[in-house]
A and B are shown apart, each in its own frame.
Chain A
Amino acid sequence: MIERSEQVRLAESLARQGRIAPAVTACYQALRVNERDPLAHCLLGGLMLAEGFCEQAARSAARAIELDQRCAAAYFVLGLAYDRMGGLWDRSVLVWQQLAEVVPDLAAAHVQLGEALAAASFADEAIDAWERALQIDPREPRAMYHLAMAALKREGMATALPGFRKAGELDPSQDDFFFALAGYDAEGLSAAAMSDIGPGIKSQLRAAHAFAANDELFKSSELIRSILDGHSDDVAALSLMAYLYLKQESVNEAMACSLRALTISTKTPTAVYALGAAFARRPALAAHASKLFSALTTMAPGQAMPHVLHAESLLGLQRYSAAGAAYRSALALDPGCVRALFGQAAVALTAGDHTAAAWAIRRAAYHDTRRRGYFWGPYDAAAEGGEQ
């Protein structure tokens, strides 16, 4: 049980708003009131880590753990601080192992443990840790990326490529990209879109996309069927149906729907995407996928994902230099694109550049940790536990 003081609540609120300096001040105030407050130490550590002060972060996190050995967020801060300082893999491994013991069903702990073990050259143990992460959460993309990299090192690209594709499918950015191509933002895919369905086709399409974005695939399919009953040539509905079939691993149905949409209008980016993604699932059709994704880079300028998809299809064609160039294009548009960074690491490995590969993997892990908010999840769990 961790009680939250008023000062800690204030610090939290400021931290969530991105106001780091006043949040740090509030943490110190909280510690003046109660030096033995593990949440204050933990939060201070998290803030220090976010600002790149790894040694201070490690000190605060270590103190938080000393005060509360079940404070998972503090283990995260300590482990990440050791990882970022570099050269402290023995300590890092120990911290992630402790976190895995404190919260055994936390997939992220095993992913981080695997990364620390890999950095310490324990390749087999690292693979075991990533496999454990996938047992806990089969939808954990980072563990899948690492296993694909391990397969590349041992057996080559043909074995690794399905792993990269699977990791990409698990990566939420690919779904976001489809809905962005369809012209929907977060508001267009909100719960309101699902509950407030008007009689017009526009409202129905918006709801169908919202259901799809919220993994309500059956409801989305039903809605599309009713749209197509009245408008069988609606390319947006056909493209969304192709996307839904892809989500259900029905690749040929997806091809049929997207090809039908492209017969009606060749300039439908969602259909081009769905057909490319369907072709990409068939290794023999990598060249076809490559052409479509190349076209998509022009249809969706400013988006990193088409370049990533293009690069992955080029990997399947053993055109590693061209794939590297496509990944670089993606990273120029989005330097934090986790999928492109893992891909760049794979390309570097095929060229024997281990240093570049290790650097790209570390950057990928860094950006993935940031985007998925690894700190706040365990922190909130600890704080909520304190209020019970």
Chain B
Amino acid sequence: MADDAPLRLYRALVKNDPAAAISVVEQVRAEGAEPDALLDSLFAPALAILGGSWADGSINEYVFTQASAVSDQILSFVTPPRMAGDTGITVLVGSMHGDSHDIDKNIIAAALREAGHRVVDLGADVRPATFLQRAEETGARIAIVCAQMVATARAVVRVREMFVSDGRTDLVLLVSGAPFAADERLARAVGADGIVGGAESAIRMVSHLARQRRGGGSAS
């Protein structure tokens, strides 16, 4: 990156010229600057010059405000995308039939979505057949079934039976909820491949499965 790039960006800002500012960013990017480094190496130094010019009176309050508004417009060009990129992994999430608790399910679904996964939220009180049906429709290979009561947790075995009866042994069944957290044997008994302990655990497990799948040469 040329040493005077922050100064050029600063000049574009005070001239109230977003196109010129974007052009400076694009030039720096074309010179090979890493996208993640643009904020630290270009944008921040330019803003520091802007702050200094306002402080020493080289520019007045009006120009400072205008330049700040332009800097806001180009911020998205120098920052990494807010959301993670699409991983291409589809995950079914739902609460077991007879279970209307949906807080954990909502948090897990939202966290997976923010992490870039394609989430199909089936809602609460989902019948076992629906998990299979939606897996076939969406091509999902991972299902997370939430259950907060012992009776509904035990009933998750019907989801696994449904998958097996249709020959879908490739489907990964993850379970979540207090009964499974309290007794891991229950998860094994219902045929689950793992226990999701919360949002962070869900992201970790799904990312791990995605890496495994990629390593095995098949995409979900």
**Complex-state Cα separation, A262 to B48, whole angstroms:** 8
**B52 contacts A260, CB within 8 Å?**
yes
- B103 touching A238, Cβ below 8 Å: no
B94 shortest CB reach to chain A, Å: 15
Say yes or no: is A368 at the interface (Cβ < 8 Å to chain B): no
Task: State whether A156 touches B107 (Cβ < 8 A).
Answer: yes
Chain B residues in 8 Å Cβ range of A288: 39
A-B contact pairs, 20 of them (CB 8 A): A156-B106, A232-B55, A250-B68, A252-B69, A253-B65, A256-B47, A257-B51, A257-B55, A258-B51, A260-B51, A263-B52, A282-B75, A284-B79, A285-B79, A318-B203, A320-B198, A351-B198, A352-B178, A352-B198, A353-B198
**B197 at the binding interface (Cβ < 8 Å):** yes
Asked if B50 CB lies within 8 Å of chain A CBs, one says: yes
B86 within 8 A of A: no
Task: List residues of B whose CB falls within 8 A of some A CB.
Answer: 39, 44-45, 47-52, 54-57, 64-65, 68-69, 71-72, 75-76, 79-82, 103-104, 106-107, 109-111, 113-115, 176-178, 181, 197-201, 203
Shortest Cβ gap from B187 to chain A (Å): 14
Give the Cβ gap from B3 to chain A, nearest Cβ, in Å.
15
Contact of B104 (CB < 8 Å), options: A255, A261, A263, A352: A352
The CA of A353 and the CA of B54, in the complex, are separated in Å by 50
Which segment of A69-77, A92-100, A147-155, A332-340 sits at the interface?
Answer: A147-155
> Are the C-beta atoms of B52 and A155 separated by less than 8 Å?
no
Q: Whose C-beta in chain B lies nearest to the C-beta of A259? A: B48
Residues on A with beta carbons closer than 8 Å to the beta carbon of B104: 352
Expressed in whole angstroms, the Cα–Cα distance for A253 and B57 within the complex equals 15
Closest to B76 in A: A284
A303 on the interface (CB 8 Å rule)?
Answer: no
B110:A351 contact, CB within 8 angstroms: no
With beta carbons under 8 angstroms apart, the residue of B49, B71, B181 that contacts A352 is: B181
* A156, chain B: closest CB distance, angstroms: 2
Measured CB to CB, the closest approach of chain B to A218, in angstroms, equals 12
Task: Give the residues in chain B near A256, CB-CB below 8 Å.
Answer: 47-48, 50-51, 54, 64, 68, 71
